[in-house]
């Protein structure tokens, strides 16, 4: 998720200072993506450097208000209509962990899956029990919060289904057959090792 564009979109509604921006971000996400003030101000400095915001008024408490520029408004407009691009690879820690564990000798991958499923189901139960704590259960803050919560619930449900799928796949491949010994081919420095049957992509 782009914190940069999210903060810029909030500033498109009007000038804000750092703590105010953090509060506004929390209102719109239900505090599910906590930001510290240092991160806010670092982002504001980069936005100012890039000509997307500029410093405006300073109130009696010393708060410096940041204002969006025309270039910043253009970037917000472009961000809102552009689809989020998912990477072609994965850096999901759980997927990588199970992929590696499945090829190692002596590892009880079924136990690893069961432990993860227990944790994932517990998280899913917690998410389903979560309640909006705001003052207006029918207001826009509750709507924004519920959208983020629903995404987390669907993600947890998908993870449990994927774990069931992994366990089923591995049951068809006995452990000795899926163990992957260290390759005897020594990769050259700076070049990825070729895997038989799989082409190695090179940068265009």
Place 104 in a pLDDT band, splitting at 50, 70 and 90: confident
Please give, one letter per residue, the 3-state secondary structure of the chain.
CCHHHHHHHHHCCCCECHHHHHHHHHHHHCCCCCCCHHHHHHHHHHHHHCCCEEEEEECCCCCEEEEECHHHHHHHHHHHHCCCCCCCCCCCHHHHHHHHHHCCCCCCHHHHHHHHHHHHHHHHHHHHHCCCCCCCCCCHHHHHHHHHHHHHHHHHHHHHHHHHHHHHHHHCCCHHHHCCCCCCCCCCCCCCCCECCECCCCCC
Summarize pLDDT for 17-61 with one digit per residue, the tens. Answer: 999 999 998 888 877 778 888 999 999 999 999 999 999 999 999
Both tokens of residue 24? 């506004």
Would you state the pLDDT for residue 1? 47
3-81, which class in CATH? Answer: mainly alpha
Summarize pLDDT for 142-201 with one digit per residue, the tens. Answer: 888 889 899 999 999 999 999 999 999 998 887 777 777 777 887 777 655 555 555 555
The answer to whether 33 touches 144, Cβ cutoff 8 Å, is no
Would you state the pLDDT for residue 92? 79
Would you state the pLDDT for residue 198? 55
Evaluate if pTM is beyond 0.75.
no
Residue 24 neighbours by CB distance under 10 Å: 17
The residue among 99, 83, 93 whose CA lies nearest residue 169 is: 99
Cα 139 to Cα 81: distance, rounded to the nearest angstrom: 25
């Amino acid at each position: 998720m782009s914190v940069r564009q999210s903060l810029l979109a909030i500033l498109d509604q009007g000038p804000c200072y750092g703590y105010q921006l953090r509060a506004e971000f929390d209102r719109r996400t239900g505090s599910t993506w906590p930001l510290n003030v240092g991160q806010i101000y670092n982002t504001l400095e980069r936005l100012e450097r890039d000509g997307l915001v500029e410093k405006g008024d300073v109130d009696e408490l010393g708060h410096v208000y940041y204002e969006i520029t025309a270039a910043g408004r253009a970037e917000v407009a472009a961000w809102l209509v552009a689809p989020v691009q998912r990477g072609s690879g994965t850096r999901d820690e759980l997927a990588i962990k199970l992929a590696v564990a499945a090829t190692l000798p002596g590892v009880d991958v079924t136990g690893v899956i069961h432990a993860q499923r227990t944790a994932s189901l517990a998280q899913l139960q917690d998410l389903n029990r979560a309640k909006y704590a705001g003052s207006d259960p029918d207001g826009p803050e509750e709507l924004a919060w519920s959208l983020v919560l629903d995404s987390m619930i669907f993600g947890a449900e998908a993870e449990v289904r994927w774990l069931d799928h992994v366990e089923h796949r591995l049951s068809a491949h006995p452990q000795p057959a899926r163990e992957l010994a260290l390759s005897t081919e020594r990769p050259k420095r700076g070049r990825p090792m070729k895997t038989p049957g799989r082409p190695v992509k090179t940068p265009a």
